[in-house]
Structure 1
Amino acid sequence: MGKTLDNVYKHQSLVYKYFLYVISVALIVFFFPKGGKFKYEFQKGKPWQYENLYAPIDFSIKKTQEEIEEEQSSIRKNKTDYYTYNASLVSDVKNEVGEELNLLFQSEGFSSSQRQALRELSEEVVEKLYIHGIFQNVPQSESTVVVKNNEAQPVSPSDYLGLEQAKKEVSEYLSGINATGANRLQGLIRNSLRANLFYDEALTESALNDELSKISYTRGEVDQGKLIIAKGEIVESEDFKILNSLKDEYESELWMGSNYYFILLGYTILVALVLIMLFLFLKRYRTEIFQNNNKVTFIFFNILLMVIATTLMVKHYENYIYMVPLCILPLILKNFFDARLGLFVHVLTVLILGFVVPNSFEYIFLQIIAGIVTILTVSELYKRANLFISVGQITLIYIIGYFAFHAIHEGNLENIEWILFGVFVLNGLLTLFAQPLIYMFEKIFGLVSDVSLLELSDTNSKLLKELSDKAPGTFHHSLQVANLAEAAANEIGANAMLVRVGALYHDIGKMENPTYFTENQITSVNPHDDLPPKESAKIIIDHVINGIEIARKNKLPDRVIDFIRTHHGTTVVYYFFKKQQELDSETDSENFKYPGPIPFSKETAILMMSDAVEAASKSLKNPTFTIIDEFVEKIVKGQMQANQYLNANITLKEIEMVKKVLKQKLTNIYHLRVEYPE
């Protein structure tokens, strides 16, 4: 048991990677849509590339979403409007007219026969007007039903009668009647008329919903064994609908029962294979990243983020899967690492998503092309215009790609889904969210981006201003080293921004005892003259330790602190070591060595060379091309003989290129101008 625990502790980094790997596979498979995968790939307008396909099961031909929406729209357009007939209001109108007639009869002399005739005439006119009812608002629909005495009675448009029209009808009814008082009766009825048909919104909506619920989502059946499509036959519109229906039926049936576990196993194996490829790539070509669990976690976190976002979109809003800004992934990884890793991870992520998205070939093609464009166009992300230009190009690629696929599938430019162009534009806008994401990832995972490096390179920052005030000579030296190192990094393709920032901060530890370093001594008094060589060496060596403490206190990123640690490697403070040897010939050089570690990257190796060359160049008197050449060669050769570059991934060719740049820069600095005649 004890040995087992020892092995776990020794390989805890590897154990963590295994754990991360298993969790990632499990999460991805968990978020995958719960359905099998149809084994045939097909596209509208393309030949059927497989053997003759016969229906493996009985299934229904499903209507497309467009067909269903068209039916729904037709039903809504031709819906029946329901109106409620108020019978009591008719009685009220009759009574009101009768009361008005009584008043009329009292004021004027009418015989009993005339009175009876007017009463009968008024009731006849009111009955005729209200036979279908009077509408408060005349219906616009051609299909209208009046609910009268709990019976639904259809009313034709010719019978629609509004209140104003009803009043005109009164005049028409009574205009040809010569009965005494007919004209007076006309006014009485018109004044008493009121609408008694009112729109019943609840009943209308209920009837509409009933009609909508009767819509069939299928249009025919395909019997088992029937030929669906023959090999080489073009997948026409009707074939495409039948194949999609079979695909949906097959996948929904396949996921049921014991098949569930086999499908789950298949998904797990495929996702596991893809993530194994990522681990192998990191181990073989990005060893530094592979050994850093924080960086590996960051990469897997971004993959999971994109996969989960896309699978959720597939489940709930399948038509808008392109709204997920997948190009954020290569953009962010290129910003923190390099272009090759960014593209590799992007392609693997797209392959994982290809298992679950509709039209997988189209999706994979568009996303990989967009990822390549992202890698090729995005550079110097700290420049705001660059990100906007790159996002514009990515959006354009999506639009052109969709246009091309639509032309291939349809053979014309009809039925283009213009809303997808809006989706692509929204995708581009969401890709701009990469900037705040980069800031968040820096804080969460402790990484450094070019944007942060640009901020740190500002010489007006608090820490560099403090260095300028306390140790002006060291500050000037750091600026010179930064210029040399940046030029050398550009020459060999290293991270110039990173090495410049590292150079600016590499000597901040000298702020603790600035006068013990020659560049800050403004008088001929040297405090080392009063100290034994061992103490002097300790003060010099301690500027590395002090620098690390100051950097941590000011929350500088670890990648910048690495330059402070390594800029002297494990070299010896040679001047004081020699002085101590004069006092004691058996002096051990280990007491005069910097703590290290030695440089472990191109950038830290460049800084070591630039720092040593710039500092030692102050001792040159009357430098010439030859002197500068021999001087640089001697310093770099000494560092190489001290095995300072064993861990740095820098080649001999690149070291030669760095030396060449340093010689050119020093020549420009120290080369004497031609003296002009007086």
Structure 2
Amino acid sequence: MAERWKRIYEKAGYRTLSIALLLGIGLAIFGFLYSSVAGESYDIELFQLSDETIRSAKTVEDPVRTEQERQRAAAEILPSYQFNEESAGNQLAVIESLFGYISDARLTPGQKPEEGPKMPEMLDALSESLRLMETSDNGLRLTKEMQRELLLLPEDSLQAMEAIIKRLVEAELAEPVRLDELPGARNRVEQQLREESGIPASVLQAAISIGRFAIVPNDIINEELTQAQAKQAMASIEPTRILQGQVLVQEGQVVDKEIYRQLQLSGMTQDQADYKPIFGLALFVFIAVGLLAIIMHRTNKQRINKLKCLLVIGAVLLISLSLMKLVASVSGNFDVIIAFLFPSALAGMLVRLVLNERAAIYTTFLVGAIGGMMLQEGSAFTLQMEITLYILFGGLAGVYLIDQEGRRGKVLQTSMAVAATNALFIGFYLLIAQSQYDWREIGFYFAAALVSGIASGAMAIGLLPFFEIAFGILSTMKLIELSNPNHPLIKRILMETPGTYHHSVMVANLAEASCEAIGADGLLARVGCYYHDIGKTVRPQFFIENQVHMKNPHDSLPPEMSRDIIISHGTLGADILREHKMPKEIVDIAEQHHGTSLLKFFYFKAKEKDPALDEDEYRYAGPKPQSKEAAVISVADSVEAAVRSMKEPTSEKIKKLVNAIVEDKLKDGQFDECDLTMKEIHAIKQVMCETLNGIFHSRIEYPAETK
């Protein structure tokens, strides 16, 4: 699988594969969430029976109902009236003008009574003068007979009649008279005029007509203020909304025009398409994939390993989304929120075990956000914050509490901690929720929290081997298993080559410290060191660390035979590791820890016999170190062997030796195929010197009697 993936990588290239994987992850998220955000539509016809009960998929404003409510509120506003204090004075002036017209019609100035006009002429003159009053809104109605009687009335009687009418009109208009109160006010004036003895019977009807004419509304509606109050009342009406989850039509109910209008307004009919949620989902996917791309870009790994990380995250998301879909599909059959059964920490723990903490934290946040959308309750799309927070808290507990070494027993302990975190969150949720729960529901939710936590750890352990095999990824848990002293190959090294075993442990200490200083995988370096010299178990006596109380067999061998034996331990070790199906990273370290370096001792020994000897014949087969870990181990291997052979090593001697070995490897091009920087090389030299000084520190000589 790993070789096939490498061939694909070499053929397609990093950029193409990374874009393809990011697009695949984005499409997977979009596909799983599409049905949750798109909503449902129904094949409904007007005036037909509904086949099912339909609830609104979203909260929308109903403009028709809103306008009706606003018009109703405006209609309920009582008119605002304004009392006109000048109205009485104006009407009294009108009465004076009317009686002035009568006086003028009876006598032209400068004429004597006997020279005055005749009755027909007076009637014509009076009618002409009263024409404006007769055509006004309230219209003065004086018949020819009434006008005749007024013209025949003596002047003093006419003046007395005028005074009575003015008094009564003034008294009536002193109080507010509204339009609807006008008939009553006029009737009161008429009644009072009928009771007045000072008005001759011949002109009583004329006086009543004049009195009724003079009474006008003086408490007038203030249209501007009334309209302002109506507008304020309309503005105070909140928009009428069709609420999400509201029943629009019951099963078996006739779909009338009003129901159909509400269904269309809610976007529930098949002839409607609302693309806003789809665009919103696309934006969410863009953010999710964009952040994932940034995280991968800033990850300190080789490009091919970055692609493996994307594959792992994509696979974990696919598993999580599938579980969510399963839970969501059956959630409608229960009265409780079964989404709390979802293994909240599965994604975070799995990514943490396979990859690293940063990727695990992001995956946890992404799964939490997706869970809030997929594991929703109700008839329409909402973001279930309780589910999002539940997954976040449980997932982060799993990521941060899981054992750094990823041991299986510790994973199960972590799952119990996740269960406890879930239970605490359930307690928070039940206490803060504005709902009443019975003991059965409370028991279910706490049981779900326990199941979720335990399932997270159990599924993480169960799925981990499949991820390691499928993606060729060496997890922390696998490395810990390989470092176990009871591993058959380590026991073989210990039993058959104890000197090599001790040498490997010392190299492991140097390599692990150096790798951690430059941000490389220290645990991988340590475990790789345990196995890097396993090829020496084939002919252990030919390697100096295993030559205890025995003669060096190389002293009796020609240089070329010694060369073949020493150089072959790398390839033999790789073959042994492959035979035992060891991870590729461990095999690579066994093959690469000597690179193509020169076997100097035997080369110079052979050159004494053949000065024209080709140097390449005494070089290791390689390849050169391809990773930082392999490069660090190559330095640590050489340094440890060299320092161990030193007599009375001091800090200064160790420093010179380490610098010389590193410079020799640099000049020999052994680091050309890995991405070590000069800054990292300097850090490696410094850490190795410090570690070696701690191992080979000067001993204090104690007096003999204290020994």
User: How high is the TM-score relative to the length of structure 1?
Assistant: 0.61
Matched, 1:674 2:675: no
CA–CA separation in structure 2 for the residues paired with 1:255 and 1:638: 78
Q: Of 396, 405, 427, which residue of structure 1 is paired with 2:452?
A: 427
Query: What is the CA deviation profile of residues 393-431 of structure 1, one whole-angstrom value per residue up to 9, with x for unaligned ones?
Result: 433433444444555552999999512222111101101
Correspondence for 1:333: 351
Matched, 1:448 2:474: yes
Correspondence for 1:121: none
CA–CA separation in structure 2 for the residues paired with 1:341 and 1:425: 25
Contact 2:364 2:396 (8 Å CA) reproduced: no
Contact 1:36 1:252 (8 Å CA) reproduced: no
Matched, 1:245 2:246: yes
Correspondence for 2:504: 478
CA–CA separation in structure 2 for the residues paired with 1:672 and 1:638: 31
Matched, 1:564 2:590: yes
Q: Of 630, 646, 657, which residue of structure 1 is paired with 2:656?
A: 630
Report matched runs for 1:11-160 at 5 Å. 11=12, 20-21=21-22, 23-32=24-33, 34-36=35-37, 54-55=61-62
Contact 1:36 1:254 (8 Å CA) reproduced: no
Query: What is the CA deviation profile of residues 3-22 of structure 1, one whole-angstrom value per residue up to 9, with x for unaligned ones?
Result: xxx99983266655555555
CA–CA separation in structure 2 for the residues paired with 1:652 and 1:376: 31
Contact 1:282 1:290 (8 Å CA) reproduced: no
SS state at 2:536 partner: helix
Correspondence for 1:500: 526
Correspondence for 2:544: 518
| TM superposition shift of 1:290 | 4.7
Correspondence for 1:275: 289
Q: Structure 1, unaligned stretches of length 5 or more?
A: 1-5, 39-51, 59-225, 234-238
Q: Of 328, 343, 347, which residue of structure 2 is paired with 1:314?
A: 328
SS state at 1:259 partner: coil
Correspondence for 2:364: 346
| TM superposition shift of 1:506 | 0.3
SS state at 2:295 partner: helix
Q: Structure 2, unaligned stretches of length 5 or more?
A: 1-6, 40-58, 66-233, 250-262, 377-382
CA–CA separation in structure 1 for the residues paired with 2:627 and 2:64: 62
In 2 relative to 1, CA 480–675 (structure 1 residues): closer, same or farther, beyond 3 Å?
A: same
| TM superposition shift of 1:365 | 3.3
The letter of the residue matching 2:356 is D
Matched, 1:10 2:5: no
| TM superposition shift of 1:344 | 1.9
SS state at 2:374 partner: coil
Matched, 1:369 2:393: yes
Contact 1:330 1:374 (8 Å CA) reproduced: yes
Contact 1:33 1:311 (8 Å CA) reproduced: no
Q: Of 403, 407, 412, which residue of structure 2 is paired with 1:379?
A: 403
The letter of the residue matching 2:422 is Y
Correspondence for 1:464: 490
SS state at 1:447 partner: coil
Contact 2:651 2:689 (8 Å CA) reproduced: no
In 2 relative to 1, CA 276–591 (structure 1 residues): closer, same or farther, beyond 3 Å?
A: farther
| TM superposition shift of 1:383 | 4.1
The letter of the residue matching 1:373 is A
The letter of the residue matching 1:423 is A
| TM superposition shift of 1:453 | 2.1
SS state at 2:398 partner: helix
CA–CA separation in structure 1 for the residues paired with 2:630 and 2:479: 15
Q: Which has the larger radius of gyration?
A: 2
CA–CA separation in structure 2 for the residues paired with 1:369 and 1:386: 19
Percent identical: 25
In 2 relative to 1, CA 401–638 (structure 1 residues): closer, same or farther, beyond 3 Å?
A: same
In 2 relative to 1, CA 430–624 (structure 1 residues): closer, same or farther, beyond 3 Å?
A: same
- How many residues in Structure 1 have an aligned counterpart in Structure 2? 487
CA–CA separation in structure 2 for the residues paired with 1:512 and 1:247: 82
Contact 2:589 2:630 (8 Å CA) reproduced: yes
The letter of the residue matching 2:665 is Q
User: How high is the TM-score relative to the length of structure 2?
Assistant: 0.59
Correspondence for 2:576: 550
Contact 1:354 1:364 (8 Å CA) reproduced: yes
Contact 1:484 1:662 (8 Å CA) reproduced: no
CA–CA separation in structure 2 for the residues paired with 1:444 and 1:7: 15
The letter of the residue matching 1:509 is G
CA–CA separation in structure 1 for the residues paired with 2:653 and 2:559: 30
